[in-house]
Structure 1
């Protein structure tokens, strides 16, 4: 016991003496070549865990003994050790590491120096993501990555739609693969952008083929932040603000609506009129609101040479711009790495997310669009305005729908990864990792027994509950061998992977549960005779073997080749495995002797690649025959009815992967004294054996369709990105970036020559898209409007004898004097030809400004809202001002009797979907260090942010961002409006 006390006393004395000898040392760290300040450089007192990081101006302060040594380290720069030698001020210039360029990018199962990459990879750093107020990390890269189209929705918590280099499938999945710290996840909605260190987008087949059958649509790799050796660093980042609808759609008011309806009554000879002095209800004003949003994140990181950690917690509260639509997300993240010995390293990363959403009825925006403005919100007696009182149709009262709807969604997700890494024989590294993704979600919907209006009533209450559980695990083992022999530098990777995904959902309903409170919403309190249960689920597995070789000769001739052997249980036995190879070549031109004496080009690389990818994202068991059992299939035997079945979808005799083969040619150049960076790519991306739905001939007796490998598609395009980065003076620096991408989508082959129809114009039976040979997937298909019939004389003898004045006149494309389906043609393309972005940043003394602009060009939208009519729905202000209401009044808009042939899919519904938007504008101010130092705070930055404040477009709707699956894309049926966000925030580093 005495020995232990003596030891503790000695340690305390040594620590006390050390503390007495320690003195504050300050200084600034800059780039040795440009003189620019380096942010977040690690400054560690050698042999201890004490240290600090440089702030936004490159300044640091650390306590160290007069005879200590400071270690300065920063990614992409040479580590430097500087003796203190009794100094209190030490300024350091770090030189770029001669063996690598400044940027290190994450690739599949490892990292590479940017100079060694032979594929098309774009990296976005986490510090750029947090300068946006997006709640989903993917939204933050909109307009920042050439060739990546991101379509946002205003729904709180919803994931954006992502298309990398066009659409390559009609029936299969078209979303990219998301990989977070080595774990495959379905999306990134659970992740706080402030937790991300970097996000890499693998765009070409060469870089993505290491992921085989999951990579046909590209790969998004996310690396979360890790702890660094040094003293604990605490960061708080929070903002609060509002969200407002931009470009709100103007509808006809009560007087304008009455005028239009009276014109319609006159056309259809209905003997009644509406008064023009009726009070007007603005239904959009009734259901929409200015919403609030606030987000807070607190993180702590640090460690020693043996243990590093990063912990964070965040809370997001976002109101939707539709009333009663609220979203809450709590995220907790834990990350720790342990260096057990010099050869063994283990660690884990875990992210827990809890989400609660108060949802809204799916049709409330449609109801607000069509509800007559002469319908009051409430009558004088306090009851909801009833459409029966105006006798114009079976309209819902949107406010009653909002108040009646009672649904809450909850979900929890745990995503994590544990790994072990062993380095042996100097050049070998073995790594094993286990990724887990476990999710539980449930929803509860209660429809009370009530009578709100003549069509919004329920004679019995209905309780619906759903529970979904999903879990997946991914176990991967890799062996890496890295070696440099003379002018030869290479890395060999071998790996094996196995994965299992499973989900199961249970949905139950029951009547007559009392509406006392949340505590009474249980099945045991309802009528047990009405209880119904539905159970669905899926289970599928993957097995993979893969390898990759990276080789460089004299740092100027580069080779990357990979091979993956992938198998999936989603496919029939005998067709479950396939091989996915790739090869990439690079030539560092500036390393050649003939380029050594020139100074105009600092770096020039030419690269070419080819690879094969697969798409296994199809429904499981699609090759198993199932029968449809519906009341319509009834047979009578002995006078007794029996429910029958029908095989309305045939099973393909065999089913193969969708295979993507892609060729990419590109170059990367740095010039003008490292200020200008240019990158360009041309690609040819072909999908073979694409799963395509083909209808049966009526003689088959089935009357359905069959899915099979019946088609081929092609996406060809060009991408260009340039970035200018310079320091004009010691107090002013700026960067400006521009990227643009062109893509052409085409169906190149259909084995049966039968096209696939899809889409919906809002009216039953009106299919609006076609996927046929020679045209883009999901092209809009319909009649070409050639004007509006003005008089009865124009109608007489025309190709449309059933038309009337005020109806559309369609173009007779085949000149047979008859308008029928043979006159339908391609009238629009939902696949954009161009996507682009402009990104800029400015720093002046302590002020900073970030401005991001993005846009889309060469795209059309099918405005199905205009034709979604079944009676006397409201009209837009645009329609009122441009309608036909007598001979010579309009030759482009029909009459108020928007029915009959006017509802056929036609070019009037096609509108220009081009837009340009100020995506993000942020102004910040960082307090001087002489102020923050007094408070023992490393840095404080205040900022104001505007996201989506201005969008320029011609489309007659809330937003030109309209997504959808491949054969149903670009059709606007009351999409959730996009909003502008204005907020103020603060970022504090302790």
Structure 2
């Protein structure tokens, strides 16, 4: 990969050296910008040198000064006014009058396989500008969407470089791939962690089935279109964007200190009929704070430099990026190197060709997946080190079971490094002919390799943390994906009619390969050179495998408008996917239709002054989900040493089927219906978009449990088992204005409401129970059943705490002890059993909202974003998941039952016992939160100073992300993801952190 980056850098440098751009002599141009109507001055007008990002703004009196080439063209832009171009032509004074307009209506929106005017869009498409994404202190661009788009839920994982979980208009599937489709410059991806946010021009989220249907088989969970930056005609422009800062844990959970821990452990011992473990709890003092021992303020630095420019014949854009981010846990680190190069060539007047190629290298120092569990439960009476320098040992304090470890040992001896190399991009040719026709062909690819090396040496740190045999494990995976697409577009306007027709084909292949290997007795090497061949040959193991899937597609779309009043959009896509070959519905058809009525363009609306723009729109469509395992209808078998078959009295290695499979499998289809309104008021300063939707997943594919007595290995059956529904409402309002004094501002608020429901199931189908990860005693905490939501929390309702033996004797829980949970006997049969379980909560958020603002005055600018969710529950599995003498949170210690009358809500220290640890209402908490997602303050140096320094722009900024978080949940963060039937369960999630940065942006 190093060679690839070296060659890429050389290629970029060569391209730049070969570009001959005639740089004209700069002159200073001054002038004043006025309102074309009342002739008042306009402060804050943006003036750019055409083809570049170099420019300035008018001051409070509408005056400006800019250094520009004598033959350049200046572009004047101001909110609510028509953009105006003025050729410099050696003039030193240029005064301009801008005419008010409704330019926002002419905004171009990126949709599938093309663009549309905002006025022509009949579906639900949200657009976020690249500049808004790059303002966030997020390595992954998807994280920056949080709170910006109504109906889109983002769940972040705090780990460096992790990909957030995105859900568009609710959960609509439970099996296979539940992620959205990302389309970057025409190439399909499952994630965009390889993208540098600074390379993004804009991002469109297709939310409804009408806009998604052009992507057929992969659109069921939503589509995100990403357009990266390309070259622009003009002089070479070099830009640097860098920041340095740190991340700090927020809302850290306070644990019981050593004295409190010893006290509550003695209570636990007493409840089990044992003698106190600690004779003098107060002698331990505060003890070890394991979170403080492992956490740190993590350094984060990010740098990106780009070169942009070109002529009428060729344009170019080249960028290099570097990110170095420490984790909040010591020893964790993430480094990413990115490079991107794009060129567009106007070979002939009708022919344009171009390419984009990007490379990414990611290196990480990983941490043990169980470290947060250890930090939560480790006994504070155990020191990190003894006076002689050896590790503190939990066994020296008779702490066995699940508390037999020292987290510092885990940090010191866990040695795992990951490397990820990826190269992707596309090449295209576009031919315009017969005036109205454009043919485009493109080929794209995504090629990657990931390697994980984990080494465990021989060591003896404590009685429970030691190994007598070293281990080296290497996992390597590769992806080799390509996509070929051809489209033919017809565009024409005749009279009052405007029509755009599209025909296209797609061919794809997705191939993955993995190899997992392991060797024992590999000697330690201080320089890190560790190889499998150094281990014992007899114990080496290698397992490999892979998948291959292909698809072919045909699609078409027609957009029609009459007098910009009546709009029609019709789409059809036909997909064939190899996943269903030999036992499924190989081909699927995905139609869609949308219509719109621009009421404000009707004659009866022309004389009114209240509404500037009003559009009513509606759509219907179908999309599919091909994210299922390869050949799901193929019956497979496996052989094992525990299986024996006898033939003629001789035993042979036997075989058994892996799982039951259906003889036929239909596509999982999602049907969506939308109805929306777009409106603008107050001279287009206030815009409103609102709508309702009904999204129904039909013949959903998932696994259902079957009796193990039939002899299957997995005890499940895959099939089309149920229908799901998501219904919701979305609202977005934005107000943008500038005062005469030069103060400009934009305030935008959005809210999304969604209700998730299982509306039907196969007759006789048992409920799907899941959510066992991190739950004590292997209990299952979620249930999916007809009439409820996907993955609802399910268990016992806690009515109180038993205070004495008399209460126990008079209850339905004869085996309980004082201090145990008192469960509600729901059916009144005098017995507490599984029939008394009820729905306890819903992990699917009902409300999501955001408030996004920006302000600017003279050279100062500020943005402030607030984001939150409500109507959601989370399951705190940390409290009861214990097997010995684990620690307790300070909250539990302060509120626990430790004698009659001490608590009626919190149980005793025996919370981990079988009866108390069963999923119940005590562990289900409100997951609502509101946070200050981002605040940034910037200052751009005066333009006159920039002219003197021969530079275009210098801006410094400071910002903070997640600095303020308000929630009632007793864990680190209520922002908890997970698969659909396991969502919202906190079994030691990565803690939430705040990021504080100082940044610099320079353009010259």
Q: Hey, what does 1:53 align to over in structure 2?
A: 54
**Who is 1:4 aligned against?**
none
1:523 to 522, 532, 535: 532
2:755 maps to 1:755: no
Q: For residue 7 of structure 2, what is the aligned residue in structure 1?
A: none
CA deviations over 1:78-121 (Å, ceiling 9, x no partner)? 77564556531223456578898242110000001101000000
The answer on whether the counterparts of 1:30 and 1:38 sit within 8 Å (CA) in structure 2 is: no
CA displacement 1:294-334 (0-9 Å, x = unmatched): 10111110111111111111110000001111000011110
Matched, 1:366 2:373: yes
Q: Secondary structure at the match of 1:662?
A: strand
Matched, 1:493 2:497: no
- Please report how far the alpha carbon of residue 35 of structure 1 lies from its aligned counterpart in structure 2 after TM superposition: 4.1
The question of 1:350 aligning with 2:357 is answered: yes
The answer (yes or no) to whether the contact 2:46–2:77 under 8 Å persists in 1 is no
Q: Is the 8 A contact 2:102 2:684 kept in 1?
A: no
Q: Cα distance 1:677–1:99, how it changes in 2: closer, same or farther (>3 A)?
A: closer
**TM-score calculated relative to the size of structure 1:** 0.94
- The reply on whether 1:894 has 2:907 as its aligned counterpart is yes
Does residue 777 of the first structure (1) align with residue 753 of the second (2)? no
**Structure 1: distance between partners of 2:786 and 2:615:** 38
Per the alignment, do residues 629 and 261 of structure 1 end up closer, same or farther by CA in structure 2, a change over 3 Å counting? farther
Work out the CA distance in 1 between the residues paired with 2:47 and 2:656.
66
Tell me how far apart the structure 1 counterparts of residues 173 and 841 of structure 2 sit (CA, whole Å): 19
Query: How far off its partner does 1:132 sit?
Result: 1.2
The Cα of 1:471 is off from its aligned counterpart by 1.3
List per-residue Cα deviations over 1:562-611 (Å, max 9, x = no partner). 00001111113351111000000000000000001111111111000000
Q: Which of 639, 653, 656 pairs up with 2:666? A: 656
Residue equivalent to 2:10:
none
Are the aligned partners of 1:149 and 1:162 in contact in 2 as well (CA < 8 Å)? yes
Matching residue within 271, 284, 288 for 1:281: 288
CA contact (8 A) 2:332 2:367 kept: yes
Name 1:801's counterpart in structure 2. Answer: 814
Q: Which residue of 1 aligns with 2:890?
A: 877
Matching residue within 856, 865, 871 for 2:878: 865
1:176-235 residue CA offsets vs partner (Å, 9 max, x unmatched): 100111111121111111111100000000011000010001100000111111111111
Shift of 1:960: 0.8
Please give the secondary structure, in 2, of the residue aligned with 1:826: strand
Equivalence map 1:655-694=2 (5 Å): 655-694=665-704
The equivalent residue for 1:129 is 133
How far does the alpha carbon of each residue in 1:220-265 deviate from its partner, in whole angstroms, 9 at most, with x for none? 0000111111111111111100110000001111100111011111
SS of structure 2 residue aligned to 1:520: coil
**Superposition pairs of residues 531-546 of structure 1, within 5 angstroms:** 531-546=540-555
Shift of 1:518: 3.8
Name the CA distance, whole Å, in 1 between partners of 2:517 and 2:87.
71
Contact 1:25 1:64 in 2 (8 A): no
Match of 1:168 in 2: 172
Matched, 1:725 2:736: yes
Consecutive unaligned residues in structure 2, runs of 5 or more: 1-19
- Match runs of 1:784-823 below 5 Å: 784-823=797-836
**Which residue of structure 2 aligns with residue 833 of structure 1?**
846
Which residue of 841, 847, 852 corresponds with 2:865? Answer: 852
Distance 1:262 1:537 in 2: 53
- Partner SS state of residue 866, structure 1: coil
Which whole-Å CA distance do the structure 2 matches of 1:640 and 1:269 have between them? 54
Q: Which residue number corresponds to residue 604 of structure 2?
A: 594
* Aligned equivalent of 1:398: 407
**2: CA distance, partners of 1:604 / 1:550:** 20
Matched, 1:710 2:721: yes
Q: 1:642, 1:35 → 2: CA distance? A: 90
CA contact (8 A) 1:812 1:823 kept: yes
Alignment match, 2:9: none
Give the Cα separation in 2 of the matches to 1:85 and 1:430.
38
Shift of 1:696: 1.8
Q: Which has the higher mean CA deviation after the structures are superposed, 672-681 or 645-654?
A: 645-654
Give the superposition deviation at 1:516: 2.0
2:76 matches 1:110:
no
Distance change (3 Å), C-alpha of 1:214 and 1:88: same
Q: Relative to structure 1, is the Cα distance of residues 641 and 30 closer, same or farther in structure 2, using a 3 angstrom cutoff?
A: farther
In structure 1, list runs of 5 or more residues that go unmatched: 1-14, 45-50
Matched, 1:563 2:576: no
Structure 1 821/84 Cα, relative in aligned 2: closer, same or farther at 3 Å?
closer
**Structure 1 counterpart of 2:428:** 419
Cα separation, 1, equivalents of 2:708 and 2:360: 51
> Which digits, 9 at most, give the CA deviation of each residue in 1:132-182, with x for residues without a partner?
111111111100000000000110000000000000011132211001111
Question: Given the alignment of the two structures, is residue 334 of structure 1 paired with residue 338 of structure 2, yes or no?
Answer: no
Per the alignment, residue 920 of structure 2 pairs with 906
Q: CA–CA distance in 1 between the matches of 2:960 and 2:304?
A: 20
Q: CA RMSD in A?
A: 2.3
1:744 maps onto 2:762 in alignment: no
d(CA) in 2 for partners of 1:376, 1:593: 81
Q: Deviations over 1:832-876 (max 9, x none)?
A: 100000011111221111110000000000000111111111100
Give, in whole Å, the separation in 2 of the partners of 1:41 and 1:875: 60
Farther off after superposition, 160-169 or 170-179: 170-179
Aligned residues: 967
1:46-90 CA-partner distances (Å, limit 9, x unpaired):
xxxxx773235595745555xx57364889997756455653122
Secondary structure in 2 matching 1:644: strand
CA distance in 2, matches of 1:214, 1:259: 56
Instruction: Name the structure 1 match of 2:13.
Output: none
State the Cα distance separating 1:524 from its structure 2 match.
1.9
Q: Separation in 1 of the partners of 2:468 and 2:89? A: 87
Please say if residues 82 and 103 of structure 2, whose CA atoms lie closer than 8 Å, have aligned partners that are also in contact.
no
